[in-house]
Structure 1
Amino acid sequence: MKTPPIVAAEEWDAAWQEMLVKEKELMRARDALAAQRRRMPWMAVDKNYTFEGPEGRVSFLDLFDGRRQLIVYRAFIEPGTSDGDWPEHGCVGCSLMADHVPNLAHLNARDTTFVYVSRASQADLERMKSKMGWRHPWYTILPSKDAAFDVDFGVQDWHGTNVFIRDNENRVYRTYLVNGRGDEVFVNTWNLLDVTPLGRQEDWEDSPEGYPQDPPYEWWSWHDTYDQRTP
């Protein structure tokens, strides 16, 4: 592996200061994007979606848990997931995402609720939560003839995070959707790897010649199986 130049402290600090200019530009661009996001039009949610939680059936409004804002991640922790080994595990990527859900008290303090939904039964979800150590709320998407939550909000075939708000009359509006690589911001493992000299070590990255790189996705695993993999 060919390393970058090895320099003295003064030259290293100058290179860091040069990069810091670009990092601040990126931060300001992200702030501007967040400002635009706050100005997105709202879409009224008129259908009556039904879910099942640990204590039985609940409405879509119940998912807010009395708060004004709601973030819903659609996970493929359920039977039929193609890259899982159900019933031992669900989707590898969704499981990795679930491992990174923080202490939700901080979100709740800003009048915001965060939940995961899937089509697995509550019994299966409780089993999986216990096995994987997940503590955040999970709800089952219940079937309906005219109100399929995952279909209506573009997450029937792929993961995605939808955001909603309710007004004082309990009218609900959709305000945002993020999917694909947009969800990466929620995974601190990737953010932490991005500040290391080797990066994510995936072959799509622009890294110096000779750096270790593998195809993306293939190194991901369920956190309770990494020690079972062949080096």
Structure 2
Amino acid sequence: MQIHAVSAQEWEAARQKLLLKEKELTHARDALAAERRRMPWVAVEKKYEFEGPKGKASLSDLFEGRRQLIVYRAFYEPGVFGWPEHACRGCSMVADQVAHLAHLNARDTTLVFASRAPQADIARLKARMGWEMIPWYTITDSFDADFDVGEWHGTNVFFRDGDKIYRTYFINNRGDEQMGSTWNYLDITPLGRQEEWEDSPEGYPQTPTYKWWNWHDSYVPGAAPDKRWVEVSDAGEAAFRNKQASGKP
């Protein structure tokens, strides 16, 4: 390995040069998410049935009362390498990266995994691997084939409007490898992060940036933002903006 060591000043100059490109990428990613929020939807007319820890469940049940649903098709079933002790290695890496789901839930979004393994095997696997937090259902019909995940992993996004369910987005292949963080999951949903800075269609729910953030064990549905956190986040953002305005690195 060749090491190229420089002075602190040269290193900072190189970092600032690269930072310009990184910011361009961030802005492009934000613009792509804004375009994604304007994609047309397709109604899901077919009824699907899953098996869950509490028995039979419909696609609507998977939302757990929320409006947005993200379904990752994980390969854990007979014929998959590692069965029955393990799920697919790649799907297992995805599961290992999933952030605490309370943050998604606070944005009216539910994440679930779905496989063809029986519930008893799924429960054993979750306990062994530390994935108890992830709701994990058994596919019992043509859901996987109908939504492009019959032969390969992928992430589908759905939106529930009353009794109507719509498919809003789908991503697979290398697109799946970025999944796991709260932000990347929200960026593929139709409502996005639901923060005021986002370019979203008129009428979409949006709240002040940072203010809805909370400890994962402290979210209370419908509660107003904590006043002290509002003060802290406002002060932090103001300091950041002042530093940007001064031109300091």
**Bin for the TM-score computed over the shorter chain:** 0.7 to 0.9
1:151 alignment partner AA = A
Are residue 140 (structure 1) and residue 134 (structure 2) matched? Answer: no
| 1:186 equivalent in structure 2 | 179
Counterpart of 1:8, as a letter, is S
Aligned to 1:35: 34
What is aligned with 1:57? Answer: 56
Aligned-pair CA distance for 1:89: 0.8
CA distance in 2, matches of 1:181, 1:110: 25
Question: Could you tell me how far 1:73 is from its partner in structure 2?
Answer: 0.1
Which residue of structure 1 lines up, in the alignment, with residue 71 of structure 2?
72
Q: Provide the rounded CA distance (Å) in 2 between the counterparts of 1:138 and 1:111.
A: 18
For 2:107 and 2:180, how far apart are their aligned partners in 1?
Answer: 21
Alignment of 1:148-187 (within 5 A): 148-167=142-161, 169-187=162-180
Task: Write the distance in 1 (CA, Å) between the matches of 2:135 and 2:165.
Answer: 20
Structure 2 distance, partners of 1:90, 1:79, is: 10
- In structure 2, distance between residues paired with 1:138 and 1:173: 21
Distance 2:87 2:152 in 1: 13
C-alpha separation between the residues in 2 aligned to 1:170 and 1:122? 27
What is the deviation of 1:41? 0.6
1:24 Cα deviation after fit: 0.1
Identity %: 64
Which 5+ residue runs of structure 1 have no aligned equivalent? 189-231
**Which residue identity lines up with residue 17 of structure 1 in the other structure?**
Q
Matched to 2:2, the amino acid is K
Note if 1:45 corresponds to 2:44. Answer: yes
* Aligned residue pair count: 180
Question: For residue 167 of structure 2, what is the amino acid of its counterpart?
Answer: R
Partner of residue 118 from structure 2, selected from 121, 125, 129? 121
- Verify the 8 A CA contact 1:77 1:95 in the aligned structure 2: no
User: SS in structure 1 opposite 2:156?
Assistant: strand
* Uncovered stretches (5+) of structure 2, i.e. residues with no partner: 182-249
2: distance between equivalents of 1:179 and 1:41? 19
* 1:165 aligned counterpart, secondary structure: strand
Give the aligned partner of residue 221 of structure 2.
Answer: none
| Contact 1:115-1:138 within 8 A present in 2 as well | yes
- Looking at structure 2, the residues matched to 166 and 187 of structure 1 have their Cα atoms a distance apart, in angstroms, of 22
CA contact (8 A) 1:161 1:179 kept: yes
1:95 Cα deviation (Å)?
0.7
Q: CA deviation at 1:70?
A: 0.2
RMSD: 1.0
Matches of 2:5 and 2:46 in 1, distance apart?
61
Q: Which whole-Å deviations, capped at 9, do the CAs of 1:13-44 have from their partners, x for residues lacking one?
A: 00000000000000000001000110111000
Kindly indicate whether residue 96 of structure 2 is the aligned counterpart of residue 99 of structure 1: yes
User: Following TM superposition, by how much is the alpha carbon of 1:56 offset from its aligned partner in structure 2, in angstroms?
Assistant: 0.2
The amino acid that maps onto 1:180 is: N
Q: Post-superposition shift, 1:86?
A: 1.1
SS at match of 1:95: helix
Structure number with the higher helix fraction is 2
Q: Whole-Å Cα distance in 2 between the matches of residues 113 and 8 of structure 1?
A: 48
Taking the aligned partners of 2:83 and 2:21, their CA distance within structure 1 comes to 44
Aligned to 1:221: none
The residue type paired with residue 154 of structure 1 is D
